[in-house]
Structure 1
Amino acid sequence: MPDRKQQEGMGFLGWLFMLALLALLGLGVLRLFPLYVEYFSVKTSLEGLAKQSELHEMSHAEIRNILLRRLDINEVDRVSKENIDIAKTRNTLTVAVDYEVRTPFLGNIDLVVHFNRAIEVPAR
């Protein structure tokens, strides 16, 4: 018959350690959630831009300004014109948004997230 002392549950320190891990995980989720919500706004803005008519006839500056206006409407603050890359060929137009966000996590520890989204619009 096994000794009853060996089959006891988790002790106070074990529960304290588990609660600390859950608190860190929760803090990480709370810090990262707004960044991903903003990323989905960037994604939606790019998809809306792809549906814009006469996009191939516009200059790079016009496309960039339209996208920046869409991002401003969606309250995206972390994307600037330097993060937008536009490439035109005869058959396609590629618009890419590549940016990195650093958010404080705990003390002097930061969370860094890198987002990269691109769309290709075929010529009509």
Structure 2
Amino acid sequence: MKPRSGGLAPRSSQAHMRGMTTIGLAILVAFLGMFVFAGIQLAPAYLNYMKVAGALDGVKAEFEGANPTVGSMRRSLGRRFDVEGVSVIVPKDVNIALESGGYRIDADYDHSVSYLGNVSFTVHFKKSVVVRR
């Protein structure tokens, strides 16, 4: 076979191709989409935790230095959960224990979030505040 008149031999097509194929792009988009979808599913759980943490901080601010009772703190926590729309934990699940100089309020709970089919995420949350007498 004769070389072409331009003096350049034909190049190997695979050696000089650059970029991403359509199937590669589709796989990348699907992979990234799984993480985005997981974030979308988990965001409400973290927002709910922020509401719980805010309620505990509010109880601390309300009763700090006021010599409160366990019942009054639990009622205040229940009202705050109702106002914030917290439903993953109820006030009776929050541990209020006497500690030297005050009370320790512990909210320790798990929040399960459905992902795809029978796959779900379980996130563990823990928030503690100390209310001084």
Aligned letter for 1:33? A
Residue 51 of structure 1 aligns with which residue? Answer: 61
C-alpha contact 1:64 1:81 (8 A) present in aligned 2 = yes
Separation in structure 1 between the aligned mates of residue 65 and residue 49 of structure 2, nearest angstrom: 23
* Matching of residues 60-79 of structure 1 within 5 Å: 60-79=70-89
User: What displacement does 1:103 show?
Assistant: 1.2
Residue 14 of structure 2 aligns with which residue? Answer: 5
1:42 aligns with 2:48: no
Aligned letter for 1:23? G
Residue 41 of structure 2 aligns with which residue? Answer: 31
Residue number among 86, 89, 92 corresponding to 2:96 in the alignment: 86
Tell me the TM-score normalized by structure 1: 0.86
Residue 122 of structure 1 aligns with which residue? Answer: 132
Residue number among 96, 99, 122 corresponding to 1:112 in the alignment: 122
* Structure-2 change in CA distance of 1:65 and 1:55 (3 Å): farther
> Secondary structure at the residue paired with 2:131?
strand
> Secondary structure at the residue paired with 2:88?
coil
* Structure-2 change in CA distance of 1:98 and 1:61 (3 Å): same
Unaligned stretches of 5+ residues in structure 1? none
Aligned letter for 1:27? F
C-alpha contact 2:74 2:92 (8 A) present in aligned 1 = no
Q: How many pairs are equivalent? A: 122
Larger radius of gyration: 2
Q: Greater CA deviation, 97-106 or 55-64? A: 55-64
Q: RMSD over aligned Cα, in angstroms? A: 2.0
